Amino acid sequence: MKIKNIDSIEVLDSRGRPTLCTTVVLDDGCKGTAFVPSGASTGSLEAHELRDNEERYGGLGVQNASENAKKLLEDLDNKRADDQASIDKLLIEIDGTSNKSKIGANAILSVSIACTRAAANSLNLNLYEYLNILYKKQSNLHTEMSMPRPMLNIFNGGSHSNNDVDIQEFMIIPSSDYSFRDGLMNSVSVYTALKRRLSSNGLSVSVGDEGGFSPNLGSTENVLEEIIASIKDAGLKHNKDMFIALDCAATELFDSGIYTLTGENKKMQSDEMVEYIQKLIEKYEITSVEDPFDEKDWKAWQSLTEICKDTQIVGDDIFVTQKDLLNKGITTNAANAILIKPNQVGTITECFETIKLAQENNIKTIISHRSGETEDSFIADLSVAVDAKQIKTGAPARSDRTAKYNRLLMIENELYP
């Protein structure tokens, strides 16, 4: 299972932007292919996504990154594909920068994941089984595989839509009393009920970047009211069968010390924003809130985590899947959960290190897609393999999102027939 070739081409993501599709070929003829996702509301400390900045594709081309991925063969030729830790270490060393800006985190991640897939294929293992073996080996933890609870983004605002809703994601989470397939089915009922409600009110049912509906509803509370009514319309009970979560992506709402919610005409200082979020949590019994504050507003994070002890407070832009930032979050009690996005850090090994740190410190983990996705369902296997317990991968609609849910249905069928 030695690496013999690396090919990489420019393909398109779900927003019609270029991204990488990289294939690693082994000497036994086995192959692994990986596609790289891309975010819109990115954290400033994410690993660097290398774009060409030339005229093609409005500067978003990734031809240089794809050339860089192919060139990595010079160093990876003849290396064992199942030695993921050494491969990733080498990739980090070859790049040599702190944020993978020389070769590009997109190029590096595509090779890292393609190696994982090639090794799993060569060993004739399912990707999730191979990832579980790899994770246990690298983390020294006795991790049992499990099906995650999905967090489905059924209403899109913020940077994922051009509507007047400021909060980026309104999610539903089926109860853990249900199997994955039944929880997904219930979620589809709510999604469909929401579509019916919006439609009958003469509102648009076209969707945002992650497949959630995105009409102009103005305030956050209007959207929450519609979702709660949709849960009821679907014959389900809020906070029994179905729970509600938000991703505020608040770094996008923050400028010069002020949070601005245009949809509801509000300008708030940090402490007022803490109060605003706390009230939403209490009034609508919200069980999980991601990025409620700017990535640098650590004090607000600490306040909310202290006040809302029973709510999952999730760090995305603030931690960007990096263990040093998560470490700071643990020592300062800034959050009690972390979003894991492989392209924020750039290699599988670093992703594993962050997940391990979270699991050892009682920080909940959510494996996540990006708003710009592809048909690659790697994160579905990853969520099962590391016992993440939660996955966030958009609405139950659009094949870039359903690819992950469908993959999880296949895995569930194999693990729990």
CB of 252 to ligand PGA, least distance (A): 9
370 makes contact with ligand PGA (CB under 6 A): yes
Looking at beta carbons only, is 43 or 183 nearer to ligand PGA?
43
Burial of 205-215, coded b for 16+ CB within 10 Å and e otherwise, reads: eebbbbbbbbb
- Report which DSSP code applies to 176: T
CA distance 37 to 176: 28
Q: Work out the burial of residue 124: count CB atoms within 10 Å of its CB; fewer than 13 is exposed, 13-18 middle, 19 or more buried.
A: exposed
Looking at beta carbons only, is 46 or 247 nearer to Zn ion?
247
Among the options 49, 169, 210, 290, which is catalytic? 210
Looking at beta carbons only, is 129 or 297 nearer to ligand PGA?
297
Looking at beta carbons only, is 14 or 347 nearer to ligand PGA?
14
249 makes contact with ligand PGA (CB under 6 A): yes
| Residue 226's binding partner out of ligand PGA, Zn ion, none, with CB under 5 to 8 Å set by partner kind | none
> How many residues belong to the site for ligand PGA (CB under 6 A)?
11
CB of 161 to ligand PGA, least distance (A): 11
Cβ 169 vs Cβ 153: under 8 Å: yes
40 makes contact with ligand PGA (CB under 6 A): yes
- 299 belongs to the catalytic site: no
CA distance 340 to 354: 8
Closest C-alpha among 311, 222, 205 to residue 261:
222
Cβ 12 vs Cβ 60: under 8 Å: no
CB of 4 to ligand PGA, least distance (A): 34
410 makes contact with ligand PGA (CB under 6 A): no
- 210 belongs to the catalytic site: yes
Q: Compute the radius of gyration of the chain from its Cα atoms.
A: 21
46 makes contact with ligand PGA (CB under 6 A): no
CA distance 47 to 324: 13
Q: Which residues are catalytic?
A: 210, 341
Q: Which residues bind ligand PGA (CB under 6 A)?
A: 39-42, 247, 249, 316, 339, 368, 370-371
